[in-house]
Each structure stands twice: as structure tokens, then as C-alpha cells.
């Protein structure tokens, strides 16, 4: 069970909102880069987020660049999962590759600051603040097998190859 607070963002949060190109010189200094996570969407997010919290987006979360640094710094900030109505393809793949769950669900009923409990195996998100329970779409099997190993590198180390 994952527990934490919701940080609510709008639609179309791009990888430039998460880690803008102007900070490209920090990409080999991940702890420093992580201090700027989501800066262009909410300058205070990095100070406020606590381990276990959730990033909750609208539609098309993570659109834009292929920079894996985007899910990586979200994970480094202690975020336990990203919840969104829909998510851009490369961001989705990168997040799973780094062991960060991305859950597709109707986030409209989640408000900023709500306390959430996520049951990964049951596929449900309980909103402790509103009392509502919503479900999320199952993560596709092949991606789930990568996520369950903790990401693509642990997966490849274990299996030596892709296993269908």
C-alpha cells in the first residue's frame, strides 16, 4: 500500500516543466537537478514534497522530450507514483524503466493536498480526504514485468534479455 499526499497539476505538464533545458548543465549532478523538480509548474514543489507523496496530473502528463531525468528526479524527490488521466509515451516508458509507477485514472476528483492510499495489486486509489475510491487501468503486462524488477536495468541484469 502506497500512502501520501496529492500534489495536483493541470493538463500538458511537459518535461520542460519538470526539468527545463536551461538546467541541462546539471544533468550529471542529479541531486542538484532534483532540487528543481517541476520548478516551472510549481516553484515550491521541491520544498513541499515528502517521501511517499503523489504527483497527480491531468491529461498528457510528461509530454515532450525523451529526457529520462524527468521521471528520475520525480522519483528522487520521494514521489511514490504519478497519477494522470493520460501520459505521454516516452515518459511512461522512462518512468517504468526507473521503477516509478505511473497510474492512469480519472484524476478529476483528486484535489491538491488530498491524502491517498494506493493499492497497487488491487488497482484502486482510496481518497482518504473525500472518502471516494477510484480505479486505475492495469499497467500492461510487459511493462509490469519490468516495473516488478525495479526497472529495466535490474530486469535485464536478471534475465539477460527481453523475455516475452
Partner 1 sequence: MQVGSTLAEKILSARSGSVRKAGDIAIAAVDLAFVQDTTGPLAVRAFREAGFCELANPEKTVLFLDHAAPSPSWQLSNDHMSMRSFARETGCVLSDVGEGVCHQVVAERLARPGDVIVGADSHTVTAGGLGAFATGMGSSDIAVAFALGKTWFRVPESILITLAGKFCKGVYAKDLILYLIGRIGADGATYKALEFGGSGIAGMPVTDRLTVANMAVEAGAKVGLFPSDELTYQYLKAVGREADYKPLAADSDAEYLERIEIDLSALEPMVSKPHTVDNTVTASQLEGVKVDQVVIGTCTNGRLQDMEIAAAILKGRRRHPQTRLIVGPASPLVLREAIRKGYIDTLIAAGAIILPPGCGPCLGLHQGALGDDEICLSTANRNFKGRMGNPRGHIYLASTATAAASAVAGKITDPREVL
Decide whether 132 or 157 has the Cβ nearer to partner 1: 157
Closest approach, Cβ 41 to partner 1, in A, equals 8
The three three-digit cell numbers of residue 158, written as one number: 536478471
d(CA 115, CA 46): 18
Residues forming the site for partner 1 (CB under 8 A) = 12, 14, 16-17, 20-22, 24-29, 40, 59-60, 63-69, 72, 86, 88-90, 93-94, 97-98, 140, 142, 151-153, 156-157, 161-162, 164
> DSSP per residue over 61-96, as a string?
BTBS---THHHHHHHHTT--EEEES-B-HHHHHHHH
Nearer to partner 1 by Cβ, of 49 and 152: the residue is 152
If the CB atoms of residues 65 and 80 are measured against partner 1, the closer one turns out to be: 65
Closer by beta carbon to partner 1, 50 or else 142: 142
Quote the least distance from Cβ 91 to partner 1, whole Å: 9
Query: Least Å distance between CB 3 and partner 1?
Result: 28
C-alpha distances (whole Å) from 68 to each of 44, 54, 62, 94, 150 are 22, 18, 10, 6, 15
User: In Å, what is the CA distance from 97 to each residue of 69, 78, 89, 101, 137?
Assistant: 12, 16, 12, 9, 18
Closest approach of Cβ 75 to partner 1, in Å?
13
Amino acid at each position: 500500500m502506497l500512502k501520501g499526499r496529492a500534489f495536483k497539476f493541470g493538463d500538458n505538464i511537459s518535461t520542460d516543466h519538470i526539468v527545463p533545458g536551461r538546467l541541462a548543465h546539471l544533468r550529471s549532478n542529479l541531486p542538484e537537478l532534483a532540487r528543481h523538480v517541476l520548478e516551472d509548474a510549481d516553484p515550491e514543489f521541491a520544498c513541499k514534497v515528502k517521501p511517499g507523496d503523489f504527483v497527480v496530473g491531468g491529461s498528457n502528463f510528461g509530454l515532450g522530450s525523451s529526457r529520462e531525468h524527468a521521471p528520475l528526479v520525480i522519483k528522487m524527490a520521494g514521489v511514490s507514483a504519478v497519477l494522470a488521466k493520460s501520459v505521454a509515451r516516452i515518459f511512461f516508458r522512462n518512468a517504468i524503466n526507473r521503477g516509478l509507477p505511473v497510474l492512469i485514472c480519472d484524476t478529476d476528483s483528486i484535489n491538491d493536498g488530498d491524502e491517498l492510499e494506493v493499492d497497487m495489486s488491487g488497482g484502486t486509489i482510496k481518497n482518504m480526504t473525500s472518502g471516494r475510491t477510484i480505479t486505475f487501468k492495469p499497467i500492461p503486462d510487459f511493462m509490469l514485468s519490468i516495473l516488478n524488477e525495479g526497472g529495466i536495468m535490474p530486469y535485464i541484469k536478471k534475465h539477460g534479455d527481453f523475455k516475452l
